[in-house]
Structure 1
Amino acid sequence: MKIYTKTGDKGDTSLFGGERVQKNHQRINAYGTVDELNAFIGLALTEIKSDEVRNILIDLQNKLFIVGSDLATPENEKNKKLNIIRTSEEFIKKAESDIDNFTEKLDELRNFILPGGSKGSAMLHVCRTICRRAEREIVALKNSEKVNQNILIFLNRISDLLFVLSRYENKVSNFPDTIWNPHP
């Protein structure tokens, strides 16, 4: 099977269900940014020291594929027949549980911190910022089309989780948080 189809050579692509849209359509921007986040999580995994963090990130990658297919499949009568997995409240609950678990292992945060520290932590901060951009893209999509509300909530939790995981990764790598100094 060839990987190229040539069907997008004129700047359009297919959503799940067959509808064709321009490649710069807001729906494509939204799930494309989720895909970018997933790829950067894969890159971060090459530097993560903690097996516990690695397992959470691999779980997130699998869930982000579901988020992507959820976004690529507009919620309409025609697509109900496709029976795709949608982003669920369980994703949100798991992210919240992970945030709480790792927060307990960290010193209380009393200041803003700068992104960085270990290479793994710095990469998780990049993932966090891409996640925030994905949120913005999905909000823009939601302004014109129906979007599963769980997607937005889940991505909001993921960005918080990535922040906590970046701090934890610094901790296990023996890098202290770098406190923001507004007057260096």
Structure 2
Amino acid sequence: MGYRLSKIYTRTGDQGETGLGDGRRVPKDHPRIEAIGEVDMLNSQLGLLLAGLAEHGLVELSEVLEPCQHRLFDLGGELAMPSYQALNQAEVGRLEAAIDRWNDELGPLKNFILPSGSALVAQAHVCRAQARSAERRCQQLNALEPLEGVGLAYINRLSDLLFVAARIIGRRQGVAEVLWQAAEKPQG
């Protein structure tokens, strides 16, 4: 494989536009660029979670989540080059299988839980929240420029996986889930 980037700065974006993979130039606040940015942020947050999982020896979770970084890069490519399709239904199915496997171990959720308990649990929830944000940006783009392929389903399922991953991380760490406690209703 040849060099992908020979120069890091090009100065072509200094006036508030950026180039897409298909050669188009769009404003840096275009919904497509917003979606790409949110997916990139999720990928970075997921990298932080994976580093924590490695430090704590949670190999099984890493094996499920590590490929997601690559698939998020693929999704970014699809967003940058609208005619490019990298994701497939098998990847969505892989996420669903992991969700089902972990959910069977966890059992039903009986109350709302807070994104808390340990740093790793909280980081998994940061990733989940970022996945939802990326999904919203992709949906906004889809309303303007319909997206092809399974990218929307993938990002939706990934947020579900990250929620279940947060719970499984807590279980593996022996950390109790922090249950939401509703505020007392004001008297009067």
TM above 0.5 = yes
1:46 deviates by 2.0
Q: Per-residue displacement from partner, 1:23-77 (whole Å, max 9, x unpaired)?
A: 11000001110010000000111222311111222110010011110111123xx
Match of 2:124 in 1: 124
1:171 deviates by 0.6
Q: Is the aligned partner of 1:87 residue 2:95?
A: no
> Which residues in structure 2 correspond to 1:49-88 (within 5 Å)?
49=56, 50-75=58-83, 84-88=84-88
Q: Is the aligned partner of 1:103 residue 2:103?
A: yes
- 5+ residue gaps in structure 2? 1-5
TM-score (norm 1): 0.91
SS of the residue corresponding to residue 26 of structure 2 reads strand
- 5+ residue gaps in structure 1? 76-83
1:179 deviates by 1.2
Deviates more, 1:103-112 or 1:4-13: 103-112
Match of 1:33 in 2: 38
Match of 1:78 in 2: none
Match of 1:157 in 2: 157
Equivalent residues, number: 176
SS of the residue corresponding to residue 117 of structure 1 reads coil
1:108 deviates by 2.2
Q: Is the aligned partner of 1:172 residue 2:172?
A: yes
1:149 deviates by 4.8
Q: Is the aligned partner of 1:5 residue 2:10?
A: yes
Pick aligned residue for 1:14 from 12, 16, 19: 19
Match of 1:81 in 2: none
Pick aligned residue for 2:28 from 17, 23, 27: 23
Whole-angstrom distance in 2 between the partners of 1:45 and 1:117: 18
Runs of 4+ in 1 over 3 A off after TM superposition: none
SS of the residue corresponding to residue 106 of structure 2 reads coil
SS of the residue corresponding to residue 21 of structure 1 reads strand
> Which residues in structure 2 correspond to 1:37-48 (within 5 Å)?
37-48=42-53
What percent identity do the matched residue pairs reach? Answer: 39
